[in-house]
Amino acid sequence: MPTVTVTLPSNNTLADVQDYNDPINAILAVLNGQLDDNNIASVNGSKIVDGTITQAKLAASLKTGWWTDSTLLPSPNSVVYNGNRSYTLTFNSVDVTSILSAKMRMMFARSATPPTQCTSLNGTNQYYSKTSPAGMTFTDDFTIGAWIKLSSYPSGDAVIVSRYNGTSGWRFVIQSTGQVYLAGLNAGSANLSRVSSVQSVPLNKWVHVAAQLDMSSFTVSATTSYVMIDGLDVPATVGRGGTNPTALVQAGNLEVGSENGGTNPLSGKLAQVAIYSAKVTQATMRASVSQTLAGTETSLVSAYSFNNTINDLNTTNANNLTANNSAAATNADSPFNATEYGIVSSASFSTNSTVVVQVPEGYALPTSGGITTVSYSINANPLNFPSRADKWTVESLGQNDIETSSPVAGTWYNNGGVIQVPIGAWKLGYQATMFGYKASSFSMRSTLSTANNSESDKFYTLHLNGASDGGNFAVIIPTNRSKNLTLSTATSYYLNVKTDTASSATVGVRGDLSPTSITAEYAYL
């Protein structure tokens, strides 16, 4: 760098204009031509701009909107599935909060190539079967899981997977209301024990469903009988009937997409169907949701990816299937992708960085198998980012009539279901058809609450009054209420109803007349 030399007037000497102009001109000369490559060659580039930034990276980022640099943002050390398409990423011993913050888009490349295909069944005569399946000897505790995608609900039962000959065995079913149903049977179709979800699965979306049946316990809990939808425990009921309902009898062929020789066929898509001969913890089930099964999972009898194969992933039992009526595992659809996308819901640092990411429907982050590359963007719609709002919506859906007979006036009842809203910013609301009945004047309320037996936010409460001329009085009225909120922790919201009128005959929610829906719309889009 050139040195500017200035001669100043001696003490007690009067300065003229030239005394000022000379140093100024010297500085301008340096700035106007004497700075060249040789002069600045020794300057540390990191002092000017991050040394990892290259012209190629800048060009790629400008073209796609994505920035990728493992030095700035490495792959996460762990990924945990929280349910409802929310994931927690942990970056050990590195602070990424200067890079990632809420609303930022993320892109992930999987370490292993995921399935790209599934089976799509026609609902009339297509199914898969295996005669005399090996390893299928359980009589009490068992668990079933699968990814499903339905375009419509069946007119009756539609079977995901079964081993049932009409009187004995077990069956995993989607009912006409969209509810998930798992039953074990013993020498008669009425001799059964079952667990059924209160909630229905949504249509036109990949949804993971799982159910565990403890036939001898007759309770609903995380450790006995449960139903999970998209990795979360949902309200369920148990039922028994007939004789010897505490143990099933294995009988019939193993069938996927039907039961008892093609009866009650499924119309829709299936992937990652898994059969376990024992209980599976909900945490273990969540951990298995986001990638293809290995076939070596604890207590796994058989599993089928349907990724251009109908062979059993468990090669020990090797219950390889036979396709019936041109059923094929070649449909170009999958709940997994080689490149996955998400939006940052929150980011924090304390020893390790914790980043919560929400992904859209049809995408999942592997909790095992790994992520090779992480990219991020401040753009709202970088290249290939899935921005359709409906793909980011989380929903609890009910399509049945849930009423409480002889309700106590002033007591809240959870007749409308529950939704767990993940961390982040959401527009949360509900739609329901309230129902009440009394032989005189009647008053009832509905609300969305953080408890299943109370009112937590009056904004969500709707109030209905009616009067009668002395005859019986019944009211059916649709309700709709929503608001914006930001959550730092995942929070459950319950749709509750109550009557203010003593001696009411009933109060409830009529999902059979119009679907009951609690909907969380992701606000970071």
- Domain assignment of residue 489, yes or no: yes
User: What is the widest separation between alpha-carbon atoms in the chain?
Assistant: 120
| 56 vs 419 pLDDT, higher one | 419
Q: How confident is the model at residue 54 (pLDDT cuts 50, 70, 90)?
A: confident
Residues 100 and 124 in one domain: no
pLDDT higher at 308 or 475? 308
Q: Is residue 464 predicted with pLDDT exceeding 90?
A: no
| pLDDT range class, residue 16, cuts 50, 70, 90 | low
Sheet holding 352-358, edge to edge: 67-68, 371-377, 105-110, 339-350, 352-358, 86-91, 78-83
With residue 255 as reference, give the H or E element that holds it: strand 254-256
pLDDT(35) > 70: no
Contacts for 507 with CB less than 8 Å, ≥ 6 apart: 403, 404, 407, 413, 415, 434, 435, 436, 437, 444, 497, 498, 499
State how many domains the chain has: 4
Same domain, 163 and 185: yes
**450-469 CB burial, b ≥16 within 10 A, e <16:** eeeeebeeeebbbebebeee
Tens digits of per-residue pLDDT, 205-231?
999 999 999 999 999 999 999 999 999
The torsion angle over the Cα atoms of residues 253, 254, 258 and 263, rounded to 10 degrees, is 10
Are residues 258 and 373 located together in one domain of the fold?
no
The yes-or-no verdict on residue 174 having pLDDT over 70 is yes
| 90 and 207 co-located in one domain | no
CATH of the domain at 308: 2.60.120.200
Do 262 and 361 belong to one domain? no
DSSP assignment of 366-390 equals -SSS-EEEEEEESSSS-TT----GG
Residue 390 pLDDT more than 50?
yes
One domain, residues 130 and 3? no
Could you tell me if residue 132 is inside a domain? yes
The single-letter DSSP state of residue 224 is S
Cβ-based neighbour number of residue 500 at 10 Å: 16
Q: Is residue 180 part of a domain?
A: yes
pLDDT at 436: 81
Residues 165 and 220 in one domain: yes
Element (H, E) at 57: helix 55-64
Q: Domain containing 88 — which CATH number?
A: 2.40.30
pLDDT at position 46, please?
Answer: 46
Q: What percentage of the chain has pLDDT greater than the value 70?
A: 87
Write down the mean pLDDT value for the chain: 90
Same domain, 341 and 422: no
Band (56; pLDDT cuts 50, 70, 90): confident
Domain assignment present for residue 453? The answer is yes
Out of 39-48, 103-112, 127-136, 154-163, pick the least confident: 39-48
Q: Where does the pLDDT of residue 273 fall: very low under 50, low under 70, confident under 90, or very high at 90 and above?
A: very high
Please name the helix (run of DSSP H) or strand (run of DSSP E) that holds residue 60, with its range, or none. Answer: helix 55-64
Bridge partners for 426 per DSSP: 485, 522
Query: Closest by alpha carbon to 159, among 252, 310, 265?
Result: 265
Q: d(Cα 343, Cα 383) in Å, to the nearest integer?
A: 14
| pLDDT value, residue 45 | 46
Q: Please tell me the chain's helix, strand, coil percentages from 3-state DSSP, rounded to the nearest 5.
A: 10, 40, 50
Dist CA 23 CA 2 (whole Å): 13
3-state secondary structure 148-162: EECCCCCCCCEEEEE
The string of DSSP codes covering 434-492 is: EEEEESS-EEEEEEEESSTTS-S-GGG-EEEEE--SSS-EEEEEEEEEEEEEEESS-EE
Closest to 166 (Cα-Cα) out of 245, 243, 254, 261: 261
- What local confidence, expressed as pLDDT, does residue 29 receive? 61
pLDDT band at 7 (very low <50, low <70, confident <90, very high): low
176 with 81, same domain: the answer is no
Greatest mean pLDDT among 111-120, 479-488, 497-506: 111-120
Q: 3 lies in a domain?
A: yes
Q: Are residues 458 and 479 in the same domain?
A: yes
Q: Is the confidence at residue 429, as pLDDT, over 60? A: yes
> In the predicted model, is pLDDT for residue 165 greater than 70?
yes
Q: Where are the beta strands (DSSP E) in 165-223?
A: 169-174, 179-185, 192-200, 207-213
Whether 182 shows a pLDDT value over 50: the answer reads yes
Range of the domain at 24: 1-42
Per-residue pLDDT at 36 exceeds 80 = no
Q: What does the pLDDT read at residue 438?
A: 76
Grouping H, G, I as helix, E, B as strand and the rest as coil, residue 417 is coil
Q: Tokens representing 33?
A: 């031509």
Domain assignment present for residue 50? The answer is: no
Angle at 307 between CA 296 and CA 366, to 5 degrees: 60
Q: Do 104 and 126 sit in the same domain of this protein?
A: no
Place 57 in a pLDDT band, splitting at 50, 70 and 90.
confident
Q: Are residues 158 and 242 in the same domain?
A: yes
**174, 374 Cβ separation under 8 angstroms:** no
Q: Looking at residue 50, what is its pLDDT?
A: 52
Q: What Rg, from alpha-carbon coordinates, does the chain have? A: 31
Can you spell out the DSSP letters for 266-298? -EEEEEEEEEESS---HHHHHHHTTS---S--T
In a domain, residue 187? The reply is yes
Q: Is 60 part of a structural domain of the chain? A: no
Q: Answer with the residue of higher pLDDT: 46 or 263.
A: 263
